[in-house]
A and B are shown apart, each in its own frame.
Chain A
Amino acid sequence: MVKPQDLGHIIDEHPFFQGLNAPLREALVCCAANERFVAGEHLFREGAEARKFYLIRQGQVAIEVEAPVRKPIILETLSDGEVLGWSWLVPPHRTAFTARAQTTVRVLSFDTTCLLKKMEADPALGFAVLRRFVPIMAHRLSAARLQLLDLYGPAMAAAPKAEKKPKTEKAVKASKGRNRSAVAALEGVRAEAQADKAALKLAKAKGEKPAKKKAKSS
């Protein structure tokens, strides 16, 4: 059983509540509880009343969208040190997504009915909580937008300009014809390279040390 003073320590150590003064910290402790979820267990489900938010102390939580006739789609995962759930701040105070523990998860949960009452009574507490939530909301929005871009997909993996217009097989053949002279020149280079190699082998066979063996290629 975690005592209220221990909850206070956990809040103190959690980066989310860094810089909180003692009275505000006490107000938060009054609404906090320690909870544990096993892998596969839901912390909350989409559309449910948002009665809690969580500070993840340990473990990984998947934010999911339920989809018919298929497995839930994982949108994001959250882990140690991160905050889960802000639907409680926004009417109609219902969770937008499902949160499921992927591993054993230890959290500090906050009763948001209790917290909202305290925030309404004490604007300083309301401000302290909101100023911690807003950057998280902004970060998640920005991350979601980046995710939408499909950064590593074919559209974003642009080929160099010279590669952008795929040539037809005919065009490639024509290009090969035009480049015959270049190929012939390279055949010359190849012959030189083979002569190089032969000379190197011969030198090795004779036990001679090649004059410039470790030449930089450029």
Chain B
Amino acid sequence: MTAQDPLMRAADPMLPRLFRVEKVRRELSDTFTMELVAEDGWEFVFQPGQFNMLYVFGVGEIPISISGDPADRSRLVHTTRAVGPVSQALDELKAGDSLGVRGPFGTTWPVEAAYGRDLIFVAGGVGLAPLRPAIYHAMANRERYGRVMVLYGARTPEDILYKKELERWRGRFDMDVLVTVDRATGKWGGNVGVVTNLVMKGGFDPLQTTAFICGPEVMMRYGAQAMEKRGVGRDHIWLSVERNMKCGCGLCGHCQWGPHFVCKDGPVFRYDRIADLFAISEL
């Protein structure tokens, strides 16, 4: 093993790998998807639900969920909303630019534990991005699941993320996709209302359902409650939590949330393990 060996670098989670921006795609006015390729030529292996620390040189580092296909190890895909200086600096990167990547970190959506059950994805806004690797996995292993449903809520029809992909998924005979917007604009003729309404409408067997929920925390809380109301057990509801992460590997404690470090014990948590924490506003 040489000093250049990625295995050696992997042993130090604080050491970034160098990646090159291969492609940048504008998703929404403030949201973009970057495809990255490792400059060392080695593959990148991750599980659905994990995140990376992306480092823009001289600006800073932020945690971003991986939103690509876990089966494609040749490239790394991240969808990011530009809301702060680092994500805005990421937004300014162009094809050919370099950035540092540490990861993958964190817990994963339990896609294999859900084999044999109905699988319901509930996403809000850019929360669809961290769920997309799990959706890809479900589609690649479609015969292993019962019903597969994507329930997605966005602010307006113009804010729907991965619109073409959602349309493609909806076109499949073995998958249901329901989309709702908070505010209808233009010629929108679909559902209007909060995404939790879709949970109440969705036709699935609650006793045989595993739900993965991702979006703004308030939406996840109410989404999980709606799932519970439908009869889905807390131990079959999973959420992806976001906190202020720095090291990404449980060393610094910045992301401590009650007894958990979100970067190490999360970001994907089982609802019954964190439901009480949602009630503590100081956290």
Which chain A residues lie closer than 8 Å to B201 at the CB level? Answer: 79-82
Taking a contact as CB atoms under 8 Å apart, the answer to whether B103 and A218 are in contact is yes
B55 (CB) vs chain A CBs: closest residue: A186
| Shortest Cβ distance from residue B90 to the other chain A in the assembled complex, whole angstroms | 11
Partner of B192, one of A75, A139, A213: A75
B196 at the interface (CB under 8 A from A): yes
A19 at the interface (CB under 8 A from B): no
- Looking at the complex, which of B81-89, B136-144, B165-173 is the stretch in contact with chain A? B81-89
Taking a contact as CB atoms under 8 Å apart, the answer to whether B196 and A146 are in contact is yes
- How extensive is the interface on chain B, given as a class? 35 or more
Inter-chain CA distance A215–B155, complex, in Å, is 41
A21 at the interface (CB under 8 A from B): no
- Looking at the complex, which of B13-21, B111-119, B204-212, B274-282 is the stretch in contact with chain A? B13-21
Interfacial residues, chain A to chain B (CB-CB below 8 A):
60, 62, 73-77, 79-82, 102, 139, 142-143, 146-147, 149-154, 156-164, 166-167, 172, 175-176, 179-180, 182-183, 186, 189-190, 192-197, 199-201, 212-218
Taking a contact as CB atoms under 8 Å apart, the answer to whether B81 and A157 are in contact is yes
Taking a contact as CB atoms under 8 Å apart, the answer to whether B45 and A217 are in contact is yes
Interfacial residues, chain B to chain A (CB-CB below 8 A):
3-7, 10, 13, 15-18, 38-46, 57-60, 62-63, 81, 83-89, 98, 100, 102-105, 124-126, 153-155, 159, 180, 182-184, 188-194, 196-197, 200-201, 215-216, 218-219, 222, 242-246
Taking a contact as CB atoms under 8 Å apart, the answer to whether A218 and B218 are in contact is no
Partner of B62, one of A158, A160, A167: A160
Partner of B5, one of A146, A214, A215: A215
Inter-chain CA distance A218–B88, complex, in Å, is 27
Taking a contact as CB atoms under 8 Å apart, the answer to whether B215 and A76 are in contact is no
B99 (CB) vs chain A CBs: closest residue: A186
Inter-chain CA distance A81–B103, complex, in Å, is 46
Partner of A76, one of B7, B125, B192: B192
Taking a contact as CB atoms under 8 Å apart, the answer to whether B196 and A193 are in contact is no
